[in-house]
Each structure stands twice: as C-alpha cells, then as structure tokens.
Amino acid sequence: MALASCLPALKRSKGHVLLTGSAAGRTTIPGSMYSATKWAVTGIGYNLREELRGTGMRVTLIEPGMVDTPFFDEPPEYSLEDRDIANAVVYALLQPAHVDVNEILIRPTPPVADSAS
C-alpha cells in the first residue's frame, strides 16, 4: 500500500526501486514463514517491474544468502558481510539508464574442503 501511494512520485523521478528479499525466497525452508515472506517480495518485484515498464524506472531485487548479522543467536559457519550486500546495491545503482539489473542473488562461498583429509 505504501509503495502504491509512492508510485506517482517515483514515476516522475524515473528513480530506482530496490527491494531486499532473500535467497530464502528462492527455495523452501521447513516450517518457516520467513521463506514465504521472501517469496512475496520476489513476486512484488516482478509485478512492480511490469507495472513500471516504459516509465524509465528500474526495479532491482537484492537477494542475499546468509549474512553475518545479529539476527542469529549463533554466528553462521560461513556468511556474507554487510559490505558485500552494499557492493551489490552500488553495482545495480551505477548501471547506465539502458541497463536494468533485475535481480542480484548473492550467496556466501562455502569454504574449500581440505583435500588432505
């Protein structure tokens, strides 16, 4: 609803809408409403992009995997850092007007297995 009320001003500005979803919006997590809400963010992004087609507006979904934040009680085994997500956002924003970065799905690289074991 808030997004709908902002659309006229956004269209006039020819701005850039950034939506933060999650890699969890690309899969299912047993017993988790979190994943369902992130699927919703993905759907909103796709629909919004269609609504804004031909207006000069761009819509980018940033979908990070595990990020090391206070959200978790225990630190993840491997994770992204906040600056990794910031770099992805800057990449999307700095593209020329004819380039629309629709989605950035960014996940941490698992550690390399020790081949000596």
- Stated pTM of the model: 0.83
Q: Which of 2-11, 50-59, 73-82 is modeled with the greatest confidence?
A: 50-59
Would you tell me which CATH number, out of the four given (3.40.50.300, 3.40.50.12240, 3.40.50.720, 3.40.50.880), belongs to the domain 13-106?
3.40.50.720
Residue 97 corresponds to which amino acid?
A: A
Per the CB < 8 A criterion, the answer to whether 78 and 110 are in contact is yes
The structural domains of the chain, with segments of one domain joined by +, span 13-106
> Percent of the chain at pLDDT above 90?
53
pLDDT bracket for residue 19 (50, 70, 90): very high
**Residue positions annotated with a catalytic role:** 34
C-alpha to C-alpha distances, 68 to 22, 76, 79, 106, 109, nearest whole angstrom: 14, 7, 6, 13, 13
**Residue 26, pLDDT above cutoff 80:** yes
CA 14 to chain centre: 20
24 token code pair: 């969890």
Q: What is the DSSP letter of 112?
A: P
